[in-house]
Amino acid sequence: MSRSPLAADPARSRGREFPGTSDETRGPRSAFQRDRDRIIHSIAFRRLRSKTQVFVAPEGDHYRTRLTHSLEVAQIGRVIARALGLDEDLTEALCLAHDIGHPPFGHAGEDALDNALTEHGGFDHNAQTLRTLMRLESPYCTHEGLNLSWEVLEGLAKHNGPVEAPHWALAELDAAFPLDLGTWPSLEAQVAAVADDIAYDNHDIDDGLRAGFLELDDLLTLDFIADQWREVERRFPHAPRDRQLRELVRGQIGWMVNDVLAHTRASTKGIEDRAQIAVSDRALAGFSPAMHAAERRLKAFMYAKLYYHPEQTATAEKANTVIVQLWDAYCEDPSRMGSRWADSLPAEEPHRSRHIADYIAGMSDQYALERVREFFGDAPGDLSNV
C-alpha cells in the first residue's frame, strides 16, 4: 500500500517536550516506532494486564483485560491504517496507550476517584493517561515521563475529538507542552479512536455471551446483527454454536472495518494536506452515518443488557467501596503508600490529594484488593462476577 500524503510523517514530527534526549544508537527506528516501544516497555502498560475491561477481577482467564483489549485495538488500528496508507507505528502507539490512565476496576474506580477529588478538580481517565505518560512513568535519567512525540500526545489528548474544556490534568500538561487542543488530531488518531469502538463493541459481545450475561436471542433483536447471524448459519450450518458465535463477532468486526475504510476514503477525497484535517468541522476517519447510527443502537443495547446488568452493578458498587476505603486509608496514614510515594507527598492541596489519587490510579485490580485486605482484614464481598 502506498503512503498517503495525509499520513503523519515521523521525519517531520513536531518534536518532544524535552528535546535532545534521544539515544539514536538504540536501533534504526523512526520517532513513532520509538514511542510505541517506550509504551510497550513501560510499567504502566504492563499493569494493564490486571485491570478491568468489562468484568471486575474475573476468575476465568478467557476474559479480556485492559491489556488484551489494547492489543486488539492495535491490531484493528494497524489494519485500517495500512489500508489507508497512514503511519502504522503512530496508530499502533496510540492504540496501545489509550487506556493507560484507567484506574483499577474500570469506570467504577474512576467514579470513586472522581468523587474523592470533587474539591480538587476531579479525576478523568483520559487526562490521567497523559499525566501518566508525561509525568508519572519516568524511567529516564534526564527528564520526567516517557517524552513521547507531540503527535502521540496530541492523539491521546484528543481521543474523543477536540477538547474545549480540558480537565485540570490535561490543562497543566497542555500549558507545559501545547497540544492544540481545539483542533482535530491526525487521521492516525481518528483511526485509533474508531478502532477502540470496534474492538470493545464486538469483543464485549464475545465476553458477555461467554459469561452468560448476554443471550443470542436478545442480540438478534438488532437487525444488523441478525443479518450477520443468518449469514453465519448459511455458511456454517453444522458448526458448533460456540464457533458460530465467534464467527459472528469476526463478521461484525470486518463489517465495521470495511465501513470505516469506505467512509474515510470518501471523507478525505479532496483533502490535500494534513493541515486541512486539523481545521475540519468533523472527524474524517470513522463510521458512515448509517454505521454510526447502528453502532449507537448497539452501545445502547450493551449498556442495558451488559454494563448495567444487576450483577455488574452490584460488583461495581463493591469495587467503588474498595477505592473509597483505600482513599481513606492513605489520607489517614500516607506512610501506607511506601516511602517513595509518602516522602514525595505534597503538603498543600490540591496537590496532596492528586498525589494520592495518582498512587491509587496506578494500581491493578488485584493489588487494590490485596491492600484492602491488608488494611481492613477483608474486601467488601466477592468481586469476581464471572
Residue pointed to by grid coordinates 467501596: 321
In this structure, the number of other CB atoms found within 10 A of the CB of residue 218 comes to 12
Count the alpha carbons within 13 Å of 44 in the hemisphere toward its beta carbon.
30
Output the CA–CA distances (angstroms, integers) from residue 196 to 30, 94, 224, 228, 366, in the order listed. 24, 10, 20, 21, 25
Torsions phi, psi of 256, nearest 5? -70, -40
Query: Can you state the percent helix, strand and coil of the chain, rounding each to 5?
Result: 60, 0, 35
Torsions phi, psi of 16, nearest 5? -120, 160
pTM of the model: 0.95
Residue 59: per-residue pLDDT:
60
Residue 63: per-residue pLDDT:
84
Output the CA–CA distances (angstroms, integers) from residue 168 to 257, 351, 358, 361, in the order listed. 35, 11, 14, 16
The SS3 of residue 30 is coil
Count the alpha carbons within 13 Å of 362 in the hemisphere toward its beta carbon.
18
Asked whether the beta carbons of 260 and 285 are under 8 A apart, the reply is yes
Asked whether the beta carbons of 57 and 371 are under 8 A apart, the reply is no
Task: Going from the first residue of the chain to its last (386 residues), give the mean pLDDT of each consecutive group of 10, the final group possibly shorter.
Answer: 93 94 74 97 96 72 88 98 98 98 95 98 98 97 96 97 97 98 98 97 92 94 97 97 96 97 98 94 97 97 93 93 97 98 98 98 95 88 58
Residue 21: per-residue pLDDT:
65
Residue 384: per-residue pLDDT:
55
The C-alpha atoms of residue 97 and residue 155 are separated, in whole angstroms, by 10
Q: Comparing C-alpha atoms, which of 15, 30, 35 is closest to residue 179?
A: 15
Residues in Cβ contact with 144 at an 8 Å cutoff, skipping those fewer than 6 apart = 18, 134, 135, 138
C-alpha cell at 336: 501506607
Residues in Cβ contact with 317 at an 8 Å cutoff, skipping those fewer than 6 apart = 108
In this structure, the number of other CB atoms found within 10 A of the CB of residue 367 comes to 15
The SS3 of residue 269 is coil
Q: Does domain 191-309 correspond to CATH entry 1.10.3410?
A: yes
Q: CA angle, 371 as apex, 378 and 336 as ends, to 5°?
A: 125
60 dihedral zone (left: phi>0; alpha: psi -120 to 50; beta): beta
Residue 1: per-residue pLDDT:
65
Please report, for the chain, the start and end positions of each structural domain, with discontinuous segments joined by +: 30-104+119-176, 191-309, 312-376
C-alpha cell at 293: 447510527
Residue 386: per-residue pLDDT:
47
Torsion of CA 320, 323, 325, 331, to 10 degrees: -140
Asked whether the beta carbons of 146 and 133 are under 8 A apart, the reply is yes
Residues in Cβ contact with 34 at an 8 Å cutoff, skipping those fewer than 6 apart = 22, 149
Beta-ladder partners of 149 = 16
C-alpha cell at 367: 493489588
Residue 330: per-residue pLDDT:
98
**CATH (one of 1.10.3210.10, 3.40.50.1820, 3.40.50.10860, 3.40.50.620) for 30-104+119-176:** 1.10.3210.10
